[in-house]
Amino acid sequence: MDITASAKSTPDNPVVDRNEWRDARLKLLELEKEETRLRDKVRAARQRLPWVKVEKDYAFDTPAGRKTLAELFDGRSQLLVYHFMLGPDWDEGCIGCSFFCDHIEGALPHLNNHDVTWVAVSRAPLEKIEAYRKRMGWNFPWISSFGDDFNYDYNVSFSDEERASGAVEYNYRKVSTNEVADEEHGMSSFYRNEAGEIFHTYSTYARGGEEVCGTLMLLDRAPFGRNETSTMSFLKRHDEYEAAPKEKGSSCCH
């Protein structure tokens, strides 16, 4: 992990007695409660959003063959799609998307039991997805939208014409093409009713999915936090970390 020397070696937190620490902690607790109440309000507002009926027919390459958007629901009424950054000419998946998806498999039984299907979608051809999946050791559903409009319509891929204009829409605003990658990430939600109609209910981009990443939430409670020099600068793919040296006598077993 890339931990900055200044963050690790020169903390400037005051050292106080237990009573003074408790007073400070109680003040922080009030902020945490305020954050929780705001999060509840945001969640309620999210679930009250109006929906948009999906009129276009989308199709995806999957290990089980070609599937429509309706078939991705796998018999459930709700679908979460993670827009995974892996373009047709990329050699490996995005580091941040890989980090995000490291958190998914343990949640799948719980999501499925709650009538929710989860799937990752990338624009890379299926064989490239399967090769990277094998490298990462993942088993979650991951499919290809190669040759389909899906990624473009949900604003995570951008046409040559859009890029030539100098600005594209990402995260609900026009941004310079210099501010976005060839592919971008996000998560979209869909509902399918008993009549088979599909509705787009929600999409989030950029930092909107951070709460799903348990590692970030844990780091936020560690003494040095995320130790970032820029957003998520500490990240590597999970097979790229070097074994961190342990301090002498720090092993829990010896």
Identify whether the C-beta of residue 187 lies closer than 8 Å to the C-beta of residue 209: yes
- For 129, half-sphere exposure in the C-beta direction (CA atoms, 13 angstrom radius) is 26
Question: Which stretches in the chain have pLDDT values below 70?
Answer: 1-9, 243-254
pLDDT at 192: 98
What are the pLDDT digits (tens) for 135-160? 999 999 999 999 999 999 999 999 99
What are the pLDDT digits (tens) for 32-67? 999 999 999 999 999 999 999 999 999 999 999 999
pLDDT at 8: 55
Identify the DSSP state of 102.
Answer: T
Instruction: Give the DSSP per-residue string, 189-249.
Output: EEEE-TT--EEEEEEEEGGGGGGG-HHHHHHTTSTTTT--SSTTTT---TTTPPPPPPPTT
pTM over 0.85: yes
- For 132, half-sphere exposure in the C-beta direction (CA atoms, 13 angstrom radius) is 26
In the structure encoding, which two tokens stand for residue 225, read together? 């936090």
Identify whether the C-beta of residue 93 lies closer than 8 Å to the C-beta of residue 229: no
Identify whether the C-beta of residue 79 lies closer than 8 Å to the C-beta of residue 116: yes
| Ramachandran angles phi, psi of 146, nearest 5° | -55, 130
Structurally, at CATH architecture level, domain 49-209 sits in: 3-Layer(aba) Sandwich (3.40)
Which of 105, 122, 107 minimizes the C-alpha distance to 157? 122
Identify whether the C-beta of residue 195 lies closer than 8 Å to the C-beta of residue 89: no
